[in-house]
Chains A and B, each alone.
Chain A
Amino acid sequence: MNSFRESDEEDNNPFSGTNHLYASGIGAVPEGDDDFLSAEVDTADETVQETREQMMSRLFGECEGPRESSAGGWTSGSMGSIGAPDGHSDEVTEFGIDTVLVEGEVRTPGRARVPASYPDAEGSLGALRIVDAGQYKDTFGNYAIGYTIAYEGRQVTRRYSEFDSLRQALARLLPTVIIPPIPSKHPLIRYFLNPLNAENDIRIIEKRRRLLSRFLNNCHDITDIREHTVFQKFLNPEYIWSEVLLTPPVSILPTNNLLAPPLNPTKPSPLHLLLPTPPRRTTSYGSPKTNNPEYDIRFTELESLLLRYHKCLQPVLASSRQKKIHFKQLASSLADLGAYYNAFSLEDNVINLPHQMDQIRDLSRAIEKIGQAVDVNYVSSELLVENIMILLEEPIGEMLQFVQEGREVLRFRMQKQQQFHIIDTTIKKRRGRIEELRNFQAQLARLEAALKQNAEESPTIARAVQRLDAQHLHKQRKSPSGELQWTGLFKSRSGSVRTHDSLTTRPVTGDVDVDLLSDEERAREIARLEGDLEKLNECYKLIQRDMLQVNESMARSFDWFIMYLHDTWALVLRNYTRTLLNWLKDCLTAWKNARVTIDTIAV
């Protein structure tokens, strides 16, 4: 009995020993074992096998969209595995040809190419496609994982780190535009927990391939990015990316985008350097008003909308992950179940009687069909799992990242707004001060006139006036020259002008009491303040223009973004529905077949 148990568990598992797509993950099939590929070529003799293959190809065929027309990447993909030392001879010849074409970037075919077998969620919309992903040899002769982008008839291979730097460059070059996200770097801990094996690697590469392709298409969809020279250079095989990063505009990016023209940070603008730097941490609450209140309201609304979106997307992502796990477990249970039904179909009777042979045979067939239905259920569930990941989890993850990016851009605007506010209030303060000084001066003049008039009549008063003058002189000697630097335009000057014997301890922000200043000082300050004001007014004009540009550009960007969100959701819903339907239909057919066979049992 015991030996039977063991044998049956092994022999009847329809997938034991084979390396099926559904056993080891679709697309991650090592060389030679690629059943899916062979399905289109030769017809398997086993019926069980056949239905599965049919279903696979049907499923793939339907949700795939336009597959790459040249199957070159495909076939070469199944030829080599990562690190396999084949294709050396090819390399030499390829080198010569490709250097001309790709300028130093050498693609070595036959090296762990990942077949483009995944249905592309955005395949139909995309002007850009990543047609191939796998090892290649970069400019410096190092092997790396490269992603080959096809765009306007040309192909260029870039690696993940280059995508990353592109994104970073774009984010700095276009601070008012929401830059599409790219998949995050893998956490380092993964390398320790799960040392890279070939399959794992391929899965990661595949995932990145999909997400990077979405990134490119999203970028392409945004006019500001599409027309940007850096993006164009990224897609152009004639440029070596590391050199692009070392040349303008990337190399001349300002350290702080707030101190540069918002739409074109690399354009030199000395006036921008005068702008104040608001603190990095700012909240929308109590953010000052600009003179574009409708934009202010719009962006505050957007801010809260994005926050809600964020809160809403997270549980969706979590539940879809959970569902994926549950489906995976279900699939594995179903796999076992199918196997046992198959075993059951062979051992479903306890006695062999000649007149019952027909009945037994029918019953066996029916049970086998049930087993097949369960198998189909299993395989399509596996597919569903893959599709949940590709069609639901990844776009939602992308949207989450995107929302985060959107909030980042909003923060930039907030800081700009803060800048505006600071300039605005400073101007008001300066004006007030000038007013104050002038008023005091006038008052003083009146007072002096009155005193002088009185002094002619009284020697005591005359002496008092003399002493007052002396005091003024004394103070003048002591006060340091209040020459201000440009950088100090927005700083409070109280510290530099404060009297030695500080009779009054004022807050740092306050100005020195006007009555403590001498006439000369007052006049100097007024002159200085007027000089400041002149510059401040220029700044004001600048920041107003900036705000306008920021508002318009961001409004555009957010319009696009909201559209993107809606489009993506619509797409997700549509794709998911389609996959679900495929799953349901496959199962339905399988069970119907089983049902027909059951009916043939004569009892």
Chain B
Amino acid sequence: MSEIKLGDQWFIIVSDPQKQRGDKSSSGSYVTYQISSKPATEGDKRSGEDDITVVHRRYSDFVLLYQILANDYPACIVPPLPDKKVLNYLDRFSQSFTQKRCHSLQNFLQRLAQHPVLSQSKILHTFLVSSDWDAYQKSLAETVGNLSNKEELTETIMNAFKSVHSQSDEFVEIKEKSGKLDHNVSKIDKLFHRVVKKQEAIAEDYGKLGLSLRELQELVTTGDDRNSEVGNLGTKIKTFNEGMAQLSYSLRDLSRYIDYEYIIDLRDMEDYIDSMKQLIKLKDQKQIDYEELSDYLTRSINEKNNLISGYGSGSNFFKSKLEEFTGINQEAARREKISKLESKVQALTTEVENAKKVADAFEKEALKEVEIFEQIKTRELKRSLTTLADHHIEFYQKMVNTWSKIEESL
């Protein structure tokens, strides 16, 4: 298997969610996200600051992009979008919501940009740079609407409980491992959620402590000023208190980062794993199609052989007797049947071959996709871990500096 190079074509930042007043009465207000993109420098450094293209897109535009990609590249793991559903009690325009979605959308675009196939798609380019997107949008939306693939859906449901008979070891492993990965990531996600809550509670505690310390400070400074040392303690408490306040703020900042970005990364990762699982399921589907067909083929061949070789099994014997009884010309009927079966077998054989080809090709494609997924995932993990570590380092470094100073002054 050849090594797959990830695409580095784009450098993308999604930022600055802005609430927009609805132009027409129907849609009401909506939120746009600013997308800054830049083709990555490929060796030559010709691209500078000017190459940054800025466009504004709203969530429904992302959805459209996703649908088109999903239709055009059925064999690719198209990165998932953040959930559409907005719970009623959640403010759709609240900062926490739009910030989180913004980060998630950035993850989405970055994954697309790294994908060797998807990053080359015309539609992505249009989406990222073209001002014509709005014009396309309408007609595209209609087309996509018509493309809804109901057939596939029913088929998938029908075959949902069937499983593949023969499975390559690679995919057994992939399935098992992706399950574990998913499990771990979701656990970490949940735990971080708890950690964030506790950190916020602690930040609040520090705030409260600061408040009561301020009272103490007043008490100490006003209570008795005969003693020179007293004023000293007052300033000490003040210094300490300022440190507390900073600790409280910084801890809150750290929590916010984790909540707004890191947890979103983890959640997106879960979704991405799900998408990959979907692809594998689709691959299994193709495999199942092929297996069913070849089953059918063998049965047909067996039947034909039976007919040719005369009365095979007991059931056939009774059947022929019955036919004899009703006065059907046995011989003629048999010959007719054999010829029918023969043509059927022939048709089936080509079908099976096709299905085999499709399944094999799909499997190959899927394997490639999984490999791409693996690489994108590693990259992404590295990025998210780096920022996680950076934020923690920043927090602790800042606090160490602050408190070292405080320690000196005490």
- Residues on A lying within 8 angstroms of B by beta carbon are 1, 4-5, 8, 305, 308-309, 312-313, 315-316, 319-320, 322-323, 326-327, 329-330, 333-334, 336-337, 340-341, 343-344, 347-353, 355-356, 359-360, 363, 366-367, 370, 373, 562-563, 566, 569-570, 573-574, 576-578, 580-581, 584-585, 587-588, 591-592, 594-595, 598-599, 601, 603
15 CB-based A-B contacts, threshold 8 Å: A4-B180, A4-B183, A315-B211, A316-B209, A319-B205, A326-B202, A350-B178, A350-B181, A356-B374, A367-B381, A367-B385, A370-B389, A588-B396, A594-B385, A595-B393
Instruction: Report the bound CA distance from A598 to B208 in whole Å.
Output: 37
Of all A-B residue pairs in the complex, the 4 with the closest CB atoms, nearest first, are A588-B396, A330-B198, A323-B205, A347-B180
Binds A, one of B50-58, B215-223, B333-341: B215-223
Q: Are A350 and B177 in contact, CB atoms less than 8 angstroms apart? A: yes
Q: Are A370 and B403 in contact, CB atoms less than 8 angstroms apart? A: no
User: Given contacts A340-B188, A351-B177, are A570 and B236 in contact (CB under 8 A)?
Assistant: yes
Q: Could you say which residues of chain A place their CB within 8 Å of the CB of B392?
A: 373, 587, 591
Contact of B191 among A8, A305, A333 (CB under 8 A): A333
CB distance from B344 to the nearest CB of A (A): 40
Q: Are B177 and A347 in contact, CB atoms less than 8 angstroms apart? A: yes
Contact of B212 among A1, A312, A347 (CB under 8 A): A312
User: Given contacts A308-B219, A584-B399, are A598 and B385 in contact (CB under 8 A)?
Assistant: yes
- The answer to whether B7 has its CB under 8 Å from any CB of chain A is no
A593 to chain B: closest residue by CB? B389
Total residue contacts A-B, CB cutoff 8 A: 194
Besides the contacts A340-B191, A598-B385, what 14 more A-B pairs have beta carbons closer than 8 Å? A305-B224, A326-B202, A326-B205, A351-B173, A353-B374, A356-B371, A373-B392, A580-B247, A588-B393, A591-B392, A595-B389, A598-B382, A598-B386, A603-B382
Q: Are B212 and A315 in contact, CB atoms less than 8 angstroms apart? A: yes
- The answer to whether B134 has its CB under 8 Å from any CB of chain A is no
Q: Are A323 and B209 in contact, CB atoms less than 8 angstroms apart? A: yes
Number of interface residues of B (CB under 8 A): 74
Q: Are B177 and A312 in contact, CB atoms less than 8 angstroms apart? A: no
Interface centre among B1, B273, B386 (most CB of A within 10 A): B386
Q: Could you say which residues of chain B place their CB within 8 Å of the CB of A585?
A: 396, 400
- The answer to whether B141 has its CB under 8 Å from any CB of chain A is no
- Residues on B lying within 8 angstroms of A by beta carbon are 1, 3, 170, 173-174, 177-181, 183-185, 187-188, 191-192, 194-195, 198-199, 201-202, 205-206, 208-209, 211-213, 215-216, 219-220, 223-224, 227, 229-230, 233, 236-237, 240, 243, 247, 273, 276, 367, 370-371, 373-375, 377-379, 381-382, 385-386, 388-390, 392-393, 396-397, 399-400, 403-404, 406-407, 410
Contact of B223 among A4, A308, A329, A352 (CB under 8 A): A308
Instruction: Report the bound CA distance from A315 to B214 in whole Å.
Output: 12
Contact of A566 among B173, B220, B375, B399 (CB under 8 A): B220
CB distance from A177 to the nearest CB of B (A): 20
Q: Are B374 and A349 in contact, CB atoms less than 8 angstroms apart? A: yes
Instruction: Report the bound CA distance from A459 to B379 in whole Å.
Output: 136
Q: Could you say which residues of chain A place their CB within 8 Å of the CB of B373?
A: 350
Q: Could you say which residues of chain B place their CB within 8 Å of the CB of A334?
A: 195
Q: Could you say which residues of chain B place their CB within 8 Å of the CB of A577?
A: 240, 243, 403, 406-407, 410
Contact of B396 among A8, A327, A587, A603 (CB under 8 A): A587
CB distance from B384 to the nearest CB of A (A): 10
Q: Could you say which residues of chain B place their CB within 8 Å of the CB of A578?
A: 407
CB distance from A510 to the nearest CB of B (A): 45
User: Given contacts A333-B195, A344-B184, A353-B371, are A305 and B223 in contact (CB under 8 A)?
Assistant: yes
Instruction: Report the bound CA distance from A336 to B202 in whole Å.
Output: 19
Q: Are B407 and A574 in contact, CB atoms less than 8 angstroms apart? A: yes
CB distance from B142 to the nearest CB of A (A): 37
Q: Are B1 and A588 in contact, CB atoms less than 8 angstroms apart? A: no
A335 to chain B: closest residue by CB? B191
Q: Are A601 and B382 in contact, CB atoms less than 8 angstroms apart? A: yes
Instruction: Report the bound CA distance from A322 to B382 in whole Å.
Output: 36
Instruction: Report the bound CA distance from A61 to B373 in whole Å.
Output: 48
Instruction: Report the bound CA distance from A103 to B185 in whole Å.
Output: 66
Q: Are B191 and A573 in contact, CB atoms less than 8 angstroms apart? A: no
Instruction: Report the bound CA distance from A322 to B229 in whole Å.
Output: 31
CB distance from A449 to the nearest CB of B (A): 65
Instruction: Report the bound CA distance from A4 to B179 in whole Å.
Output: 10
Q: Are A319 and B208 in contact, CB atoms less than 8 angstroms apart? A: yes
Instruction: Report the bound CA distance from A53 to B246 in whole Å.
Output: 30
CB distance from B300 to the nearest CB of A (A): 38
Instruction: Report the bound CA distance from A341 to B195 in whole Å.
Output: 14
B211 to chain A: closest residue by CB? A315
Q: Are A316 and B212 in contact, CB atoms less than 8 angstroms apart? A: yes
CB distance from B395 to the nearest CB of A (A): 9
Instruction: Report the bound CA distance from A350 to B171 in whole Å.
Output: 9
Q: Are B170 and A337 in contact, CB atoms less than 8 angstroms apart? A: no
User: Given contacts A343-B184, A598-B386, are A352 and B205 in contact (CB under 8 A)?
Assistant: no
Contact of B400 among A8, A323, A584, A598 (CB under 8 A): A584
